[in-house]
A and B are shown apart, each in its own frame.
Chain A
Amino acid sequence: DSGVTQTPKHLITATGQRVTLRCSPRSGDLSVYWYQQSLDQGLQFLIQYYNGEERAKGNILERFSAQQFPDLHSELNLSSLELGDSALYFCASSVVATASDTQYFGPGTRLTVL
């Protein structure tokens, strides 16, 4: 158990819909990262927040957005869903935000778009 929690575990929805994935970082961690893992693309970095502020963006679509709240939990919002958005979505957290600071991953949310 990494200490990072993600809800829900599974999500099944239809094309065109909007969903919200939630992540609670480990106690004391200020930085949250979101990653997407699809069969054809592997694990890809989406976005990073540090202490409530966006810090870096990766391959995140404009239909996707995220935020980190004052209590440091984070939400990833996916809208106008397409079949290709079906994937595992992982959240990771670290204490601060340096390359020597280990990221710990949550168990993920499996999104299925029908």
Chain B
Amino acid sequence: DAKTTQPTSMDCAEGRAANLPCNHSTISGNEYVYWYRQIHSQGPQYIIHGLKNNETNEMASLIITEDRKSSTLILPHATLRDTAVYYCIVRVAVTQGGSEKLVFGKGMKLTVNP
């Protein structure tokens, strides 16, 4: 599985956009970029994923660079409830019979301040 690099922590002001970077310079062409977050000790929460194109859903936007070596998760209007550990995961597309596990790194702690 390709390795990802995230900052250890980041602060953001409430109401502002939070831009969370992730480097995945060894990503392969068939590997997806996934973002999850974990609030305190709750179960990891799926946010968004993408392969090549930028993606947007009700929670966030995912911007993937053209060379796919890095990506940015954007929370457009951060709230206090967005304070969490955010995980950027690169996941290989295996054929049936392989493992589709998620490999979590240490993640990045985002703190949204009032």
Contacts and interface: CB of A to CB of B under 8 A. Distances in A.
Task: Provide the main secondary structure of the chain B interface.
Answer: loop
B81 interface: no
Nearest to A97: B100
A90 to B, nearest CB: 5
Contact of B43 (A31, A100, A105): A105
Given A2-B45, A4-B43, A105-B43, A48 B101 contact: yes
Contacts of B97: 55
Given A42-B106, A45-B103, A99-B93, A56 B46 contact: no
Nearest to B49: A102
Given A56-B98, A94-B100, A99 B42 contact: no
Interface residues of A, number: 30
A100 B32 CA distance: 7
Nearest to B91: A99
B99 A55 contact: yes
Contacts of B96: 97-98
A99 B42 CA distance: 23
Interface of B: 30-32, 34, 36, 41-46, 49, 51, 87, 91-94, 96-106
**Which 3 pairs, one residue from A and one from B, show the smallest C-beta to C-beta distance?**
A56-B99, A105-B43, A43-B104
